[in-house]
Structures are given as C-alpha cells and as structure tokens.
Chains A and B, each alone.
Chain A
Amino acid sequence: MSVLRPLDKLPGLNTATILLVGTEDVLLQQLAEAMLKEDCTSELKVHLAKSLPLPSNVNRPRIDLIVFVVNLHSKHSLRNVEESLHHVDAAFFLGKVSFLATGAGRESHCSIHRNTVMKLAHTYRSPLLFCDLEIEDFRATMAQRLVRMLQICAGHVPSVSALNLLSLLQNSENPSLEDL
C-alpha cells in the first residue's frame, strides 16, 4: 500500500500506535523512548520511519497518529516531510496528523524560517508543535503531550474524538496565522 489510510484496519484491543516520520534518527529514537516511559493505561506502540511510503511487506497495526518531525536546522528534513505528505490519505488530516518542529531554540542555526513550517501546518490544517528534542526535559513534556494526543486519536478517551481535538487546537492558533 503506497498510501496510508486511517481506519483501514481494525484496532487492537487497548493498543495505540503512533508513527514518527523524520530524518533525525537519534532524536526520534529518544522521543520514542521518552514516550514509552510515560505512564499510560493503554499499550503504546511506536513506529519510526525516515520517510513514506512504508514498505508494504510488513504486517503492521492500524496507525492512529502520524507525527512529522521537521528539524529547523536542515532544509533536507523539510523536503523529506513534504514529499512524504503525498503518501498520506486525506482522511488522515482530520486530526490524526501533527507536525513537530525541533531546533527552534538555536536561532543562529535555523535555516528554515518558523513561518514556513507554520504555513505548511496551516495548509494541511493540522496542529503544529514546537519542541527542542535535544533537551531532555522538553522531550519528556512533549512525550507526555503526544501520549495524550495518541490516546485521543486511538479512541481511548471517551467523548473526545480526533476531530474534536483538532477543532479545539485550531481555535487558538488561527488568529495569529491570519496575520501571516
């Protein structure tokens, strides 16, 4: 399958799967470990990928949340993410996709402007999170956030759906984006 579709498989019992896509192997690995350390009542499965499309020969569970990690220090990661976005079905963007920008702390090393990433997130109507994945405390906080988001997107939180979460997140973002 060259295009990722949400809800194309049945979910596993009490299981939530997140897919982290990005070129920074070390950072993704560390983020994955931080997420798995989190206290969570559901089973977590973290998949890492450099880019999409994923090879179709592997039997993998239903993916509940995709996080595209962009490193603001390298244009290559942005291009990688942009090309991977083509392999994601449109239905995913109803709250099951999120963008994560790392490396914003060191302004001097940033070759991608913040606004580029913000526009990208705005085009795809998905939430954009900023986090310096190199710093452990921020990484732990972001891992907590992602675990909560994942639980909601997997349907483990009653009465909150992914779309619900999306509209909740968007209302606070949009006023600033209209100034762009």
Chain B
Amino acid sequence: METQSEEQAAAEAADSRGEGEPLQVAGAQAARPEDRMALLLRVRAQTKQQLLEYKSMVDANEEKTPEQIMQEKQIEVKIEELEKEIEEAKIAFEMKKLALDRMQLSSALKKHVEKINTKTSVLMDNMKQILSLNKSVMKSQQETRDLEDKLLDVRKKRLQLKQASERKLLEIQTEKNKQKDDLGSMENSGKIKTIQQNLEMEIQITTVIQHVFQNLILGSKANWAEDSALKETVLQLEKNLTMIQ
C-alpha cells in the first residue's frame, strides 16, 4: 500500500473565459468585460457558499460530542432523529419559498393585467382555455362520482340480499332442529309412558281372561274340537299377546 504513484493528471481544463488567458483577439474583445463580470459574480457566489460551509463546520466542531461510548443502535437511532430534523427543516423552507414565489407571481400578474387590453391578449386566451378545461374536468369528475355512487348502491343491495338469504337459511335450520328436538322429547314424555303402561295392563287382563276361558272349556270336558269357536279360543294359548311392543 505504500507504493504511491500519484499522477497529477493536472490538465487544468481551463474553460476560463476571461481569466486573462489568450482568447481569440479578433472580435472577441467586446465579450471580455462581460465575461469578467460573469466570472466575478460566479466567484462571489462560490465564496459565499464556501464561507457558509466553513462556518457550519466550525459550529459543528464547537458542539460537544458525548464522551461515553454509546451503543451502535442508539447512535443509529440518534442519527435517524437528526436526519428527520434536517428533512423537516428542508420541507419548511421549501414551503416558505413556494408561498413567497406564489405571492410574487400573483402580484406580478396583477400588475400585468392592469396594463393590458383585456380582449386580445394571449394571457386572456390562455386563461379562457384553462377555464374551459377546468369545467370539463369538473364535469367528468362529477360523472365519475355519480357512477361510483351507483356502484355503491348496487353493492349495498347485494349485501342486503346476501344478509336476507343468510337469515332465511338460519331460520330453516332452526326449524329443522326444533322438529328433531320435538320428536325426541315426544318419545320420552310421560304421557306416552302412561299410555304404554295402560296398554300393557289391558293386554295382561285380556290374556288372563283368555286363559280363564280356556281352562273353563278344558275343565268342562266338552268336545271343543268339533265347535270352531271353542277350538279357536283354546288354540290361542300359543299366541303371546304381551309381545306387542
């Protein structure tokens, strides 16, 4: 790294007009004092800017930097805060410049308008065209707004329909569930139980009566095989009536 070869490509691109260097003498001498003025003004502006830079460096160096070692994150956060402050200052400055320019423009315009003939100037034509364009812009914007409103209405209606259908489906579902529950509850209710019990008792009573008749017929030693009604009563012993469930 120590091997230096610093070449001074010192081509001083002297784009200098009026630095006293030999210009084409023929006919160009009249331009020199103006160029010199331009150069002087330029150098003045440069010197101002450079002075500003040096001043700001001096001010910056006067500020005490914190001695303690801050963590990298904190430094980055601080840097961002400072950058934000710079940005805000810049924006405020730009806004003020804009406002100033606007004021200057409006006053110049006022003066101009007072001087000219309002019927024929180009400015009036421009302004008329601007007005007509603005009107058409406003019209199209109004149309856009109307269309958007219509779209919004259609969307609202769609939403309402969706909600209504949702409600209907919900109702259907609840009805179905109620039916199922009713059916289930009906089967377990007490009423059915009592009816069933009564039915059973009746069946038992009938069976007992049947047995009594059968025993009566058998005990009377009558010939029950000949009479069909008696035969039927005796043979019913086989059927078990309690199995009705």
Contacts and interface: CB of A to CB of B under 8 A. Distances in A.
A114 B87 CA distance: 29
Contacts, number: 96
Given A43-B13, A83-B1, A91-B57, 8 more contacts: A13-B46, A14-B42, A14-B46, A32-B9, A47-B7, A50-B6, A51-B4, A157-B49
Nearest to B5: A50
Chain B interface size band reads 20 to 34
Interface of B: 1, 3-16, 19, 39, 42-43, 45-46, 48-50, 52-54, 56-57, 83, 86-87, 90
B63 to A, nearest CB: 13
A167 interface: yes
B4 A161 contact: no
B6 A55 contact: yes
Contact of A39 (B4, B15, B53): B15
A169 to B, nearest CB: 13
A169 B16 CA distance: 30
A30 to B, nearest CB: 11
B124 to A, nearest CB: 36
Given A161-B53, A167-B83, A50 B3 contact: yes
Contacts of B15: 39-43
B46 A46 contact: no
11 contacts: A7-B53, A29-B9, A33-B11, A39-B15, A43-B13, A44-B12, A46-B9, A49-B5, A156-B49, A161-B56, A167-B86
